[in-house]
Amino acid sequence: MDSVDLSVLKALEAWQHEAHPVWLVTVVETFGSSPRPPGAMLVLRADGHAVGSVSGGCIEDDLVRRAQSGELLADRAEKVVYGVTAEEARRFGLPCGGTLRLVIEPAHGVKWAGELLERIREHRIVRRRLNLATLQVTLEDVGSRDIDIAYDGDMLATLHGPRWRLLIIGAGQTSAYLAQMAQALDFEVTVCDPREEMRATWNVSGARLIADMPDDAVLALDVDARTAIVALTHDPKLDDMALLEALKSRAFYIGALGSKANNAKRRERLAMFDLAPEEIARLHGPVGLSIGSRTPPEIAVAILAQLIQVRSGRQQKQAQDQTQQGTACAV
């Protein structure tokens, strides 16, 4: 499955061969409560076909109407604001006080779309710069992600490519569901399993499968703060190898499958090595949110729910709220 941004770019590249004019719409600024963040994209064709989302509904309908009626400009970029007044917010279904600023650029016959997709397939992070006055687009490889979008009214810069990375240890059934779902959430997925018999049945497209030993896989990944590592083999020899390196890394999320009792034993084993107590405390085990999941797809949902919670910072906020509530009760 594709992330939303990748689906937009693929549709944009495919529509270059059609006769209909094409536009790329990008959310460049938001004010108040907005349904989609800066950087969200929509590709739109003159016959009303559209892929992606900039608001979740009514603004898309208005853009489609404008494309079909010939109102959109074909020779220069356009800056549009939706939701400035309370009446417009109600009309377009925006949350209370929400305002979106969009850039609509003609994108029919462009060559950069195919080149950008090729670089993304090579797992490169690419900055696309659009000069709004000339419609000139330049693509630049960057070493890591910094600011996802920059806009000053004259120039629009957006980052494309792997935003988040997920390393899964084990190529079993739960891993297959997790890999499929994670790709839809903008994760670049790598699956590590040194067991030949497990690799032989792996068939998830889009996920990179490697045969390295788990600790080597973690070290080779050059883990950063946008990386998650989840151990799912149920084999302590393999899972623990990965965790010994993962817990010392900058990964924002580290989890391991298993019951509370098994994970308690796992923490005892990890404490025998050169890991500090605060490093071991980073382990999410049992992995995932407690939602009563039992089947492989349910477990995958629970893991991804916790990944979303952690990367959005909500888990830390909830912990702080609970601490404050506990302090208030103690007083």
> What tens digit of pLDDT does each residue of 10-30 get?
999 999 988 999 999 999 998
Q: Sorting pLDDT into bands at 50, 70 and 90, what band is 2?
A: low
Task: Write the DSSP assignment of 239-297 as a string of letters.
Answer: HHHHHHHHTTS--SEEEE-S-HHHHHHHHHHHTTSS--HHHHTTEESS-S--S---SHH
What is the pLDDT at residue 227?
Answer: 94
CATH class of segment(s) 164-313:
alpha beta
Position 152 pLDDT exceeds 50: yes
> In the chain, what are the domain boundaries?
4-160, 164-313
Strand order in the sheet with 164-169: 208-210, 187-192, 164-169, 227-231, 253-256, 283-284
Mean pLDDT across the chain: 88
| Entry pTM | 0.67
Q: What is the largest CA-CA distance in the chain?
A: 71
Taking residue 131's Cβ as centre, other Cβ atoms within 10 Å add up to: 13
**β-sheet bridge partners, residue 254:** 229, 283
Range 185-206 average pLDDT: 94
